[in-house]
Structure 1
Amino acid sequence: RIQLAPMIEEIFTDLAPLVEKRGITLEADGDGVMTGSDALIYRLIFNLTENAVKYNRPGGSVRVCVTQETEKLLIRVSDTGCGIPEEYRQSIFQPFFRVDKSRSREYGGAGLGLSLVWEIADLHGGSVWVEESSEKGTTIAVELPVQ
């Protein structure tokens, strides 16, 4: 059994150096309990939060919101970045895909973060999608069964 609020706080601590460097504000809201692999769920939330920090505006904010329902858990990671163009909103979950290829050196990584998020959600019987995205920011949602 995994309680998400303490895990999210741990993720915020682990991301502190990157967050401070970029001047991002982190906010967590809500809590939930689910059954699953704590290492994989940690990776799922970490990857989404790290991306929200990396692709944000300097001085922007990231909010991780957890909503517990009877049968499912909804995790939303929202940022104040520049958004994801409509035509790329499905592609971002494919391995090695990058919206802006020219920024891959600047941000590092192999382009596997969101494909891992997709796989981890799928392994737990859940799903992930871009809930909304505009020039004001992006919200990525993950729905996971409680059991």
Structure 2
Amino acid sequence: MQKTGPRMLFYAVSSSGLILNLVYFTFMTIYCEEPFCFLKFPFIPFSLVVLLTIPLYIILGFYVKKQFETEEKLVKAMKRILNLEKLDRLKTLFLTTVSHEIKTPITPIKAQLQMILKGYFGKLNKEQAKSLYIVLDNIDRLDGLISDILDVSRIEAGTIKFVFEKAKIGDVVNEAFESMKQFAKNKEIILEKKIEDTGEMVFDRDRIMQVIVNLINNAIKFTPKGGKVSIYVKKHKRGAVVIVEDTGIGIPRNKLKQIFKPFYQVDSSYNRKFGGAGLGLSICKGIIEYHGGKVWVESKVGRGSKFYFFLPRKPKPKDKSIKLLNP
């Protein structure tokens, strides 16, 4: 619609009132057969009413014009929203499709490498084996990155699969603790736990394990040699709260709200000390929120961080996708 539309509407409404007034006064002049008879009794009251309608028609014209402009803005805003939603769906579809297509050939590549390293195609010397192990390690990293991107896109699209079952959150924490002990030992970091009995709950065991392992892994990664990482499970009247606390480098206050966004790095410099794509915490957020829970963090630079998540006793799955890329 052209920009002149509201203006023309204003002119139409206000001028129509003025024309009606002009017709009235012309008729009165002709009817009375003398000038300004509409200012004489008994026509004065009617004439005053008609004169007072002139500003009313102008005000009405402005009002209609304003309403028309507002409606036009709303239509444009709705179109922008629909276009953004369409782009958002295309973005998620693109991430899912491309990640899946890249992941498909990784499986046979990895299998062939493992067979070569095990000597199925002949014995390797030390240099050859060392080189192939480097390739295998980087394929594992790539595979993990693609899996993370797939998780993010599936959470966004609402297609990620969850298998809810009865389990104890303490058992899952114990399992995650055992799996991370060697990593902590290699970095000479103390790893400890304190678990309260929360009873049986209903959740996706594998996905919650993924969350806990990710939080412990991050805590160890960002804690210097000689530091400590503690995992707590606390009973809550509506479920359980899991806390992963470290004595690491901490997170600046102005970046606490950003760290759950995909691909966000607290240190985004090219030569940053710690690797990673910045997807782990956003995946944790999506998994916990899908269960109907909540995840948050407290941190002070140089003093460490405490990551919390609340898990309800029974899940309250979301009916729609969870926005991670544009929260």
TM-score by length of structure 1 reads 0.90
In structure 2, how many angstroms separate the alpha carbons of the residues matched to 1:73 and 1:127?
Answer: 11
Choose 102-111 or 116-125, whichever is displaced more: 102-111
Q: Looking at secondary structure, tell me which structure has more helix per residue.
A: 2
The one-letter amino acid paired with 1:120 is I
> Normalized against structure 2, the TM-score is what?
0.43
1:36 maps to what in 2? 203
Asked whether the 8 Å contact 1:98–1:104 carries over to 2, the reply is no
In structure 2, which of residues 205, 218, 227 is the aligned counterpart of residue 51 of structure 1? 218
How far apart, CA to CA, are the structure 2 residues paired with 1:90 and 1:22?
28
- Give, in angstroms, the shift of residue 26 of structure 1: 1.0
- Which structure is richer in relative contact order (CA contacts within 8 A, separation 6 or more)? 1
Do the aligned partners of 1:81 and 1:137 also contact (CA within 8 Å) in 2?
A: yes
Q: CA deviation at 1:57?
A: 1.5
Question: How many pairs were matched up?
Answer: 147
Displacement of 1:7 in angstroms is 1.7
Q: 1:10 deviation in Å?
A: 1.6
Give 1:127 deviation, angstroms: 0.7
The structural deviation recorded for 1:126 is: 0.6
* Equivalent residue in structure 2 for 1:2, among 145, 156, 167: 167
Residues 125 and 145 in structure 1, CA contact (< 8 A), matched pair in contact too: yes
Aligned partner (choices 171, 182, 206) of residue 17 of structure 1: 182
- RMSD of Structure 2 on Structure 1 (CA): 1.8
1:20–1:77 Cα change, 3 Å: same
Q: Which residue of 2 aligns with 1:114?
A: 281
For 1:35, what is the secondary structure of its paired residue?
A: strand
Match of 2:244 among 57, 77, 93: 77
Identical counterparts, % of pairs: 35
User: What letter matches 1:92 in structure 2?
Assistant: I
State the distance in 1 between where 2:293 and 2:203 align: 11
User: 1:99 pairs with 260, 266, 272, which one?
Assistant: 266
3-state secondary structure, aligned to 1:94 = coil
- Mark the structure with the bigger radius of gyration: 2
- Equivalent residue for 2:151? none
Distance 2:236 2:246 in 1: 23
CA gap of 1:123–1:111, structure 2 versus 1, over 3 A, is same
2:252 touches 2:299 (CA, 8 Å); kept in 1?
Answer: no
Q: State the AA in 1 paired with 2:208.
A: I
What is the CA distance between 1:72 and its match in structure 2?
2.3
Q: Structure 1 unaligned segments of length 5 or more: list them.
A: none
Query: After superposition, what is the alpha-carbon deviation per residue over 1:100-141, rounded to whole angstroms, capped at 9, x for unaligned?
Result: 124887543321110011001101001111134342111011
SS in 2 for 1:98: coil
Instruction: Looking at secondary structure, tell me which structure has more strand per residue.
Output: 1
1:21 CA drift (Å): 1.7
